[in-house]
């Protein structure tokens, strides 16, 4: 340990300043296991003051740092930096305030996403953003990467539910943004901070708004003979004026994987399934469900299953939520992308993805948030075969370029992170990227906060073999 | 520098106006005069840059030039049974899309699905150094790059000249119904707001008129379910509930910031608040006949009308003393901010990054 790092180590008891080989290996990767880099040291903070002191030390010594919650980022967003510090935030996990009358919660960044809803449940409230990893991912990471979930079309993403922040900027300055009112005045700094991928600093306290729990769900699983038919059904629902809370599609390969993994009993022989979920007060659902079934009956479904109760609803969702880890049964390795396309062009895009996959000789399973055009192609490969990873990456790149070419986005909810940074300048023009870079420098003049993410051109750690994340293999987390 | 107004007809003319003048303030139709009253700047009106450039109802997105009036936009959406759920403000007065983004003002509908910040997807703007910036996207979901479109919401034209905006839009509910509920006290009203906001009813808007001690609740959805839910509310809260259809004028008067008892306000102020703060503010200022207020968005926004300069000073003094800041929307004010000010430690950093040559004015200070 050199002299300067001893001054950082002196701020922590020995068991919370980790610089041994075992710890460095434990923190070398996140949900995107393709990238691995060992940090210089890990500090396990237990208070906001410790975060601030660490950031100030890093600023003073020009040492890069990466904030990390549960390490579930699918874009390599919490990948450590070589010779940098990992600031592990899991122990900053207090819900500081939960006000049922004002319908807000103020939480520390290490609070697990689903804990907010659990805490709010006794007041009939919940926290809406529901990334698939919600049982383990943290609010701090959700804020940094503006996480989504299955309900974004109706309710929005993380940034639509964060109304205030206290953060330490990369230079050690502590700032507050927004507040406890959902409305503010002046430029929306809270909105800018959300989704900044940790490049501005670290959130210390996050104020989120809570929504009333829907009284009733009406969840329907519909099987179709083709993906096109499922896509057409989504268009018919959208054009009818209904606004379902969720509209999800899985293709045959994804169904096969889910079936093998969790025996979800989806309609046999279906080339695609659609999950539609209405939610709201019972009187409104009674009206809307009639409308929905009139529409669905005209879409030539192979089969329909309506969840009669909460258990059946969970059973329908189980297949969907498990789809990604289930794909691990079909292939030793896979890449997942989360590009977005205009919803009306979903059918055309899926045909093109199929053609690209065929040309590449690679199997692709598709699961997507159909309501908002958010694709999740799962590109299957075997990392042990020389060149297979590179070919899978080439296919992933073609899919992302396809999204850009038709006016979509390279990421709907996973963020750019390490994984897609070479595409930032393909999606945005030079003046826009230059402005983003100026904004980053305004907050972090030494570029020490989560460097190497979002922006192209910085040094990349080497790719290594893939494989399921250990937690994913254990069924604890899943990719969405 | 002067107070002249330039009205470019094209984007090139707009760029020339920005580059060719020392300090410029982009404006729309000046429906919020206090926000465009900076002295010593050249005002550049975006009013001629109008038109819907892309609208595919089934994508739930609409792109329009900044000078497009909100009334045109609302009308185009209504033709396809869609709407902006946050109740855009000052639509009849002539507000533009660019001005709506730059002011960040939202009406009572902000309660259910969010405000301007939650419906802006992409923004094109001219920066102070004459560059065209295209931030955000044109699809309903996008997590790529910094969320500059959100940053511009409420930026009051101080960070760039917005030229085009892409908004998320929603299907318009088939019908609305309004319940006006008489309350015995402000405290009872606040208790009812809290209960209603987390109730199973999924209300579309929850507002409170303190002078009348009346709660306004709006239901949106199929007419039949609105009626049934309204019946349930009435049975929960007794007979002091009047039910009105969509023609009830309370919401539209509020959207135009009209106050029944002050028809020539000295100032109209937006004050972000919470139910608890509202009660304290109302206790302090509510007895003054020259000050009127309305509590919107389930206790999150207070609109304040003052009749005289004395009343305005009283409001400003109270807000400064309680560390609150309000935005002056109307009235011949040199300062757009009232109370403790909106000077933020991040402001100078962001301002310098967005506008390195200082082409756009800084926020006027607290007053």
Predicted confidence (pLDDT) per residue in A340-398, tens digit: 999 989 888 988 999 999 999 999 999 999 999 999 999 999 989 999 989 999 999 99
Indicate the SS3 state at residue A67.
strand
Q: Is the dihedral of CA B134, B140, B145, B147 positive or negative?
A: positive
Q: In what order do the strands lie in the sheet with B205-209?
A: B241-244, B175-182, B214-221, B205-209, B291-296, B301-306, B267-272, B325-330, B337-339
Closest CA to B63 of B132, B123, B2: B123
Size of interface A-B (CB pairs under 8 A): 274
| Separation of alpha carbons A104 and A179, rounded Å | 10
Does the distance separating the beta carbons of B133 and A241 come in below 8 Å?
no
**Residue B134 and residue A428: Cβ atoms within 8 Å?**
yes
Beta-carbon separation of B150 and A429 below 8 A: no
Q: Residue B163's pLDDT is what?
A: 98
Helix (H, G, I), strand (E, B) or coil at A413: coil
Q: Is the pLDDT of residue A429 over 70?
A: yes
pLDDT at A477: 53
Question: Is the predicted pLDDT of residue A467 greater than 70, yes or no?
Answer: no
Cα(B169)–Cα(B52) distance, integer angstroms: 14
Task: Tell me if B138 and A407 make a contact (CB, 8 A cut-off).
Answer: yes
| Per-residue pLDDT band at A464 (split at 50, 70, 90) | very low
Strands across the sheet with B42-45, in order?
B5-6, B42-45, B24-27
Q: Mean of the pLDDT values across residues B141-152?
A: 97
pLDDT of residue A463 exceeding 50, the answer is no
pLDDT for B366: 36
Q: What is the mean predicted confidence (pLDDT) over A275-286?
A: 97
For the beta carbon of residue B222, count every other beta carbon within 10 angstroms.
18
The whole-angstrom distance between B129's CA and the closest CA on chain A is 10
Of these ranges, A165-174, A452-461, B243-252, the one predicted with the greatest mean pLDDT is A165-174
- Taking CB atoms and an 8 Å cutoff, what residues of chain A touch B232? 283
| A65, containing H or E segment | strand A65-68
Task: Give residue B1's pLDDT.
Answer: 41
Q: Which two tokens stand for residue A391?
A: 């070919």
At B365, the pLDDT band (50, 70, 90 cuts) reads very low
What is the predicted pLDDT for the residue at A261?
A: 87
Q: For residue B215, what is the enclosing H or E element?
A: strand B214-221
Q: How confident is the prediction for chain A on average, in pLDDT?
A: 92
Q: What percent of chain B has pLDDT over 90?
A: 87
Strands B5-6 and B42-45: parallel
ipTM above 0.90, yes or no: yes
Nearest CB among A145, A153, A191 relative to B143 is that of A145
> Hey, are the CB atoms on B229 and A281 less than 8 Å from each other?
yes
CA torsion, ordered A141, A143, A146, A151, to nearest 10 deg: 100
Q: What is the pLDDT of residue A141?
A: 97
**DSSP codes of every residue in A382-395:** -TTSTTHHHHHHHH
pLDDT digits (tens, 9 = 90+) for B92-122: 999 999 999 999 999 999 999 999 999 999 9
- Comparing CA positions, the residue from A181, A184, A176, A8 lying closest to residue A83 is A8
Picking from A210, A202, A232, A224, the residue whose alpha carbon sits closest to that of residue A67 is A202
8 Å CB contact between A27 and A44: no
Q: How far does A266 lie from chain B, in Å, by closest CA?
A: 28
**What would the pLDDT profile of B286-301 be if each residue is shown by its tens digit?**
899 999 999 999 999 9
The residue ranking higher by pLDDT, A2 or A67, is: A67
| From A173, A243, A454, residue closest to B345, measured CB to CB | A173
Q: Which of A106, A183, A480 would you mutate first to test chain B, the one with the most B CBs within 10 A?
A: A183
| Cβ pair B97, B79 in contact under 8 A | no
Q: Is the pLDDT of residue A476 over 80?
A: no
To probe the interface with A, which of B126, B131, B135, B139 has the most A CB atoms within 10 Å? B139
Q: Does B45 touch chain A (CB under 8 A)?
A: no
Residue A34 scores a pLDDT above 80: no
What residues contact B221, with CB distance under 8 A and at least 6 apart?
Answer: A280, A284, A287, A288, B173, B174, B175
E strand or H helix at A235: helix A227-239
Task: Give A-chain residues touching B158 at CB under 8 angstroms.
Answer: 187
Distance from CA of A30 to the nearest CA of B (A): 19
Return the minimum-mean-pLDDT range out of A10-19, A37-46, B334-343.
Answer: B334-343
CA B89 to chain centre: 6
Looking at residue A462, what is its pLDDT? 41
Residue B32, pLDDT > 50, answer yes
Smallest CA–CA distance, residue A144 to chain B, in Å, is 10
Task: Identify the CA nearest to B35 among candidates B112, B92, B90.
Answer: B90
What integer is the mean pLDDT of B48-71? 97
Q: Which of A344, A322, A265 is nearest to A477 (CA)?
A: A322
Among the listed residues A327, A337, A346, the one whose alpha carbon sits nearest the alpha carbon of residue A230: A346
- The whole-number pLDDT of residue A479 equals 55
Q: Give chain B positions within 8 Å (CB) of A236.
A: none
Split at pLDDT 50, 70, 90, the class of B70 is very high
What's the confidence (pLDDT) of residue A328? 79
What would the DSSP string read from start to end of A98-142? Answer: EETTTTEEEE-TTSBHHHHHHHHGGGTEE-----TTTTT-BHHHH
Closest by CA position to B253, among listed B108, B139, B54: B108
Give residue B42's pLDDT band: very low, low, confident or very high (50, 70, 90): very high
For the cut 90, the answer to whether the pLDDT of residue A410 exceeds it is: yes
What is the mean predicted confidence (pLDDT) over B27-54?
Answer: 92
- Return the residue of B nearest to A454 by Cα: B145
Is A210 in contact with A120 (CB distance < 8 Å)? Answer: yes
Closest to B25 in 3D by CA, of B38, B8, B7: B38
| B64 touches B53 (CB < 8 A) | yes
CB contact at 8 A, A351 and A226: no
B59 close to A (CB below 8 A) = yes
A459 pLDDT exceeds 70? no
Does the structure show a pLDDT above 80 at A77? Answer: yes
Task: Name the least confident of A150-154, B254-258, B281-285, B307-311.
Answer: A150-154
pLDDT exceeding 70 applies to what percent of chain A?
Answer: 95
Facing residue for A431 by CB, picked from B131, B152, B275: B131
Check residue B282 and give its pLDDT. Answer: 94
- DSSP-assigned beta bridge partners for residue A174: A168
């Amino acid at each position: 340990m050199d002299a300067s790092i001893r001054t950082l180590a002196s701020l922590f008891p020995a068991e919370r300043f980790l610089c041994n080989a075992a710890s460095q290996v434990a923190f070398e990767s996140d949900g995107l296991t393709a990238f691995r880099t060992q940090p210089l040291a890990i500090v396990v903070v237990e208070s906001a003051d410790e975060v601030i002191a660490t950031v100030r030390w890093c600023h003073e010594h020009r040492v890069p740092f990466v904030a990390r919650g549960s390490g579930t980022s699918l874009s390599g967003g919490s990948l450590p930096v070589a010779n940098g510090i990992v600031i592990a935030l899991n122990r900053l996990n207090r819900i500081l305030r939960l006000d049922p009358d004002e319908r807000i919660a103020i939480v520390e960044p290490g609070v697990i996403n689903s804990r907010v809803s659990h805490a709010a449940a006794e007041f009939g409230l919940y926290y809406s953003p529901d990334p698939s990893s919600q049982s383990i991912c943290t609010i701090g990471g959700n804020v940094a990467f503006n996480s989504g979930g299955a309900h974004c079309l109706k309710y929005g993403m993380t940034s639509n539910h964060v109304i205030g922040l206290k953060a330490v900027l990369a230079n050690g300055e502590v700032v507050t943004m927004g507040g406890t009112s959902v409305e503010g005045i002046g430029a929306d700094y809270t909105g800018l901070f959300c989704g900044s991928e940790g490049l501005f600093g670290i959130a210390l306290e996050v104020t989120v708004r809570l929504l009333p729990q829907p009284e009733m769900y009406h969840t329907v699983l519909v099987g179709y003979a083709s993906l096109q038919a499922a896509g057409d059904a989504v268009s018919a629902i959208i054009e009818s004026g209904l606004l379902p809370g969720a509209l999800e599609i899985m293709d045959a390969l994804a169904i096969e994987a889910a079936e093998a993994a969790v025996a979800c009993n989806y309609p046999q022989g279906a080339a695609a399934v659609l999950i539609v979920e209405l939610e709201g007060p019972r009187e409104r659902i009674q009206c809307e469900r009639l409308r929905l079934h009139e529409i669905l009956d005209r879409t030539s479904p192979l089969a329909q299953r309506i969840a009669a109760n909460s258990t059946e609803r969970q059973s329908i969702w189980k297949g969907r939520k498990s789809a990604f880890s289930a794909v691990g049964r079909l292939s030793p390795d896979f890449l997942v992308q989360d590009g977005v396309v205009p919803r009306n062009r979903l059918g055309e895009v899926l045909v093109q993805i199929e053609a690209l996959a065929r040309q590449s000789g690679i199997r692709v399973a598709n699961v997507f948030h159909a309501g908002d055009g958010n694709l999740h192609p799962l590109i299957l490969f075997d990392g042990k075969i020389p060149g297979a990873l590179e070919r899978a990456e080439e296919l992933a790149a073609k899919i992302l370029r396809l999204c850009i070419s038709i006016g979509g986005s390279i990421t709907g909810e996973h963020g750019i992170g390490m994984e897609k940074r070479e595409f930032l300048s393909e999606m945005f023009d030079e003046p826009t990227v230059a402005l983003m870079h100026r904004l980053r420098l305004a907050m972090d003049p030494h570029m020490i906060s989560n460097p190497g993410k979002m922006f192209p051109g910085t040094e990349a750690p080497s790719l290594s073999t893939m494989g399921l994340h250990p937690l994913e293999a254990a069924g604890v987390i899943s990719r969405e | 520098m002067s107070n002249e107004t330039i009205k470019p007809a094209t984007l090139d003319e707009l760029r020339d106006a920005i580059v060719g003048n020392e300090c410029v303030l982009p404006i729309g139709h000046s429906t919020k005069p206090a926000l465009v009253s900076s002295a010593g700047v050249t005002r550049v009106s975006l009013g001629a840059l109008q038109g819907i450039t892309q609208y595919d109802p089934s994508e739930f997105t609409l792109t329009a030039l900044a000078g497009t009036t909100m009334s045109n936009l609302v009308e185009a959406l209504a033709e396809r049974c869609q709407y902006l759920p946050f109740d855009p403000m000052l639509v009849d007065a002539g507000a533009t899309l660019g001005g709506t983004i730059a002011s960040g003002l939202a009406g009572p509908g902000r309660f259910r699905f969010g405000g301007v910040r939650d419906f802006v997807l992409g923004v094109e703007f001219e920066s102070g150094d004459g560059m065209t910036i295209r931030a955000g996207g044109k699809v309903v979901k996008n997590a790529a790059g910094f969320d500059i479109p959100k940053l511009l919401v409420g930026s009051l034209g101080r960070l760039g000249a917005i030229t085009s905006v892409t908004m998320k839009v929603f299907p318009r509910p088939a019908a609305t119904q309004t319940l006006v509920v008489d309350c015995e006290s402000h405290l009872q009203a606040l208790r009812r707001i809290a209960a209603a906001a987390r109730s199973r009813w999924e209300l579309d808007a929850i507002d409170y008129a303190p002078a009348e001690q009346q709660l306004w609740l709006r239901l949106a959805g199929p007419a039949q379910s609105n009626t049934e839910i309204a019946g349930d509310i009435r049975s929960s809260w007794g007979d002091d509930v009047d039910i009105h259809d969509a023609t009830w004028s309370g919401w539209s008067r509020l959207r135009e910031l009209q106050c029944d008892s002050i028809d020539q306000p000295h100032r109209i102020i937006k004050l972000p608040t919470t139910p608890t703060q509202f009660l304290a503010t109302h206790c302090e200022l509510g007895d003054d006949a020259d000050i009127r207020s309305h509590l919107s968005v389930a206790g999150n926004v207070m609109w304040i009308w003052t009749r005289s300069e004395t009343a305005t000073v009283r409001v400003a003094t109270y807000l400064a003393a309680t560390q609150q800041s309000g935005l002056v929307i109307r009235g011949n004010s040199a300062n757009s901010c009232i109370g403790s000010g909106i000077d933020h430690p991040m402001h100078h950093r962001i301002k310098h990054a967005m506008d390195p040559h200082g082409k756009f004015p800084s926020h006027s200070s607290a007053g």
